Amino acid sequence: MDVDKSAVRSLLGTNVLDSDLDKAVNDISKIQFYSIPSELLVSVSTDDTGEATYVYQYEDGLVAEIQLKESDDGNVKLKIVEGNKTDELEYCKNGELIYNGDNVMISNDDSGEYTNLLVTANDKVQLRAGREEYITTTCPYGRASEYNVYAGVKKSANVQLCTTFSDATRSGLAAVLAAAIASPLGLPAALLFAFTTGFASSLLDIGVTNDPRSSAVSYTLNQYYHKSSGEFRINTYLSAKKMDAIFYTQVNYRGSMSTGKFYECIDHS
């Protein structure tokens, strides 16, 4: 989704230089690509050194202040401040995701073997030509109960967060969760951020209470096709499958659970 340049201009002021406007649009686009969507942006401020802070507000009032820096080698670093909590996410050109100084690692399944999250590589997955791929929590066709043809499971017994629930920001945790489930699905993580924001919020609530020092999660994604077709392509205009998701506050599917569902869809019209 493109960033609305006129909306950014209104936040910066009518007298903003074109170069400053272009930089802000570029920064906001990158923040949206890796993390929080631009429609939640409420203000932009610049300090004496010219460094910009982009202020986002969630529907429940939580404010996230984000600064972006891009290195000469193409790495992108996000500094996220939510109240008294601070997270730093660095997206590396080689595919690594560095969270507060440590490399985020993920188990591919239950094998016990771990790899880099490879978020950058997966974010470069090209959407199918001429089609709109999207994620929604609203049933796109029929009723949720009609998605009952089992299509397999994606899961990870261990996603290393590199921070604890008591220290994590919602935005930082949501970005890591989006990357973790985007990787096995072969989807851009940006498509999943809105969904994982809700998971991050509920995981933080139960994690801070029940597992405040836990620094890893596990998850399962059970996939289902609609009964009318029994496959991803439902009709001429729509492909869709339901994902029943469970996130756990500990490794190996233990601890407290946060559940939810979303639909992976393609609009063929």
Tokens of 71: 């290195």
Is 121's pLDDT higher than 80?
Answer: no
Q: State how far the Cα of 55 lies from the Cα of 217, in Å rounded to an integer.
A: 28
Q: State how far the Cα of 192 lies from the Cα of 174, in Å rounded to an integer.
A: 9
Tokens of 251: 């490794």
Instruction: Express each pLDDT in 41-86 by its tens digit.
Output: 999 988 877 789 999 999 999 999 999 998 888 899 999 999 999 9
Tokens of 205: 């609530």
Is 129's pLDDT higher than 70?
Answer: no
Rounded mean pLDDT of the chain? 87
Contacts of 43 (CB under 8 A, 6+ apart): 11, 55
Strands 76-82 and 63-70: antiparallel
- Which spans in 93-137 are helix H? 119-123
At 131, the pLDDT band (50, 70, 90 cuts) reads: low
Q: State how far the Cα of 189 lies from the Cα of 205, in Å rounded to an integer.
A: 23
pLDDT (0 to 100) of residue 63: 96
Q: How far is CA 136 from CA 45, 61, 186, 212, 241, in A?
A: 32, 22, 16, 30, 11
Is 120's pLDDT higher than 80?
Answer: no
pLDDT (0 to 100) of residue 109: 65
Q: Confirm if 199 and 245 have CB atoms less than 8 A apart.
A: yes
What percentage of the chain has pLDDT greater than the value 70? 91
Is 182's pLDDT higher than 80?
Answer: yes
pLDDT (0 to 100) of residue 147: 98
Contacts of 194 (CB under 8 A, 6+ apart): 37, 135
Instruction: Express each pLDDT in 149-168 by its tens digit.
Output: 999 999 999 998 889 999 99
Is 118's pLDDT higher than 70?
Answer: no
By three-state DSSP, how is residue 38 classified? helix
pLDDT (0 to 100) of residue 15: 78
Q: State how far the Cα of 190 lies from the Cα of 114, in Å rounded to an integer.
A: 23
Instruction: Express each pLDDT in 90-104 by its tens digit.
Output: 988 887 889 998 888
